[in-house]
Amino acid sequence: MFSKLEEINERYDEISKKISAPEVINNQTEWQSLMKEYGDLKPLVEKYTEYKKVKEAIDEAHQLLEDNLEEDFRQLVKEELAENKQKIVKIEEELKILLLPKDPNDEKNVIVEIRGGAGGDEAALFAGDLFRMYSMYAEKNNWKVEIMDSNEIGVGGFKEIIFMIQGRGAYSKLKYESGVHRVQRIPITESGGRIHTSTVTVAVLPEVEEVDVEINMNDIRVDVFRSSGHGGQSVNTTDSAVRITHLPTNIVVTCQDEKSQLKNKEKALKVLRAKLYEIEREKQEKELAETRRSQVGTGNRNERIRTYNFPQGRVTDHRIGLTLHKLDSILDGDLDEIIDSLIAFDQMERLKKGS
């Protein structure tokens, strides 16, 4: 591990010199690439520098204890040595986590699909609650939310909604949200006060560039139609809505959020590209003799990952056994405690497996 850290340290120093060189600054492509690598390496180099300082302090303490010291000073050195020994164990663990291979998609924007499952209108209403939750979480992170397609119901929910969250590191945080989200509450239409259970599925896909997935335009059929709001009323007088069918996989993507047919087509192609990329990635993972995915993974659309219980005001993530009694703040976008716990669990599992 330490020989690798030394190599990384040398590379960091090399980049530090390069990014201030005039010939590199004048080549914006090279400069931006080096700045990204510099930014990626910085947390690891800073942590390794901290490790070396603590290690040096431990070595100095051992040398001091070999000398004839006054008892008070000896006791002080021993206490400091014990503290630094605990500190260095923690730093070593942090270094191991920082050295774990990064998911190449972590820095990407995400496309999120939320669909009402079992529960009819109540499921659609909760789909709306989840859309609001992720929108508020994005706002807290200064990320941008852009609706790509939606199918509203009259009471304020969504049968389905597809949207993009744009922001650095969005996928690294939100990839754990894929799966079935279960809600337990008394619907507003329930006169008897009975608790109903409904489900909503969430899929989180990394935004994929054209260079990552090439779509053969001969493999798609593009249909245009007039966009409409809930209840079927026309909201546009031109054929601006776009439906793209990918013939080899029979994937259908529609987009009618923009007034421009061209913009709707661009958005629909982004969603299609992300779906094709996900299919290919899942296929590759299945072909591996032993998957390197952690137990948390990125979730699965048919597994129940979380329950939101309104009567008890609690949220439980079933993958890591975490229960928080702050449902209101979570639905207001306060997701950090859940997401940080999922990331930490994922990292620990990968360390155990030597990933």
Per-residue buried b or exposed e for 151-160, using 16+ beta carbons within 10 Å of the residue's own CB = bbbeeebbbb
For the domain 110-289+297-349, what is the CATH code? 3.30.70.1660
pLDDT, one tens digit per residue, over 62-114 is 988 888 778 888 889 899 999 999 999 999 988 888 888 888 888 889 999 99
What's the whole-model pTM score?
A: 0.72
Which of 125-134, 230-239, 302-311: highest mean pLDDT?
125-134
The pLDDT of residue 293 is above 50: no
Q: So what's the pLDDT on residue 283?
A: 75
Average pLDDT in the 8-16 region? Answer: 90
Q: Two tokens at 150?
A: 């939606």
Q: What is the dihedral of CA 316, 322, 324, 328, to 10 degrees?
A: -50
Model confidence pLDDT, tens digit, residues 37-51: 888 889 899 999 999
**Start-to-end C-alpha separation, the chain:** 14
Q: Please answer whether residues 310 and 184 qualify as being in contact, where contact means their C-beta atoms are separated by less than 8 angstroms.
A: yes
Q: Where are the domains of the chain?
A: 2-99, 110-289+297-349
Does residue 311 carry a pLDDT above 50?
yes
Task: Centre a 10 Å sphere on the Cβ of residue 228 and count the other Cβ atoms it contains.
Answer: 14
**Of the candidates 211, 131, 204, 202, which has an alpha carbon nearest to the alpha carbon of residue 170?**
204
- CA distances to 174, 206, 207 from 171, rounded to whole Å, are 5, 6, 9
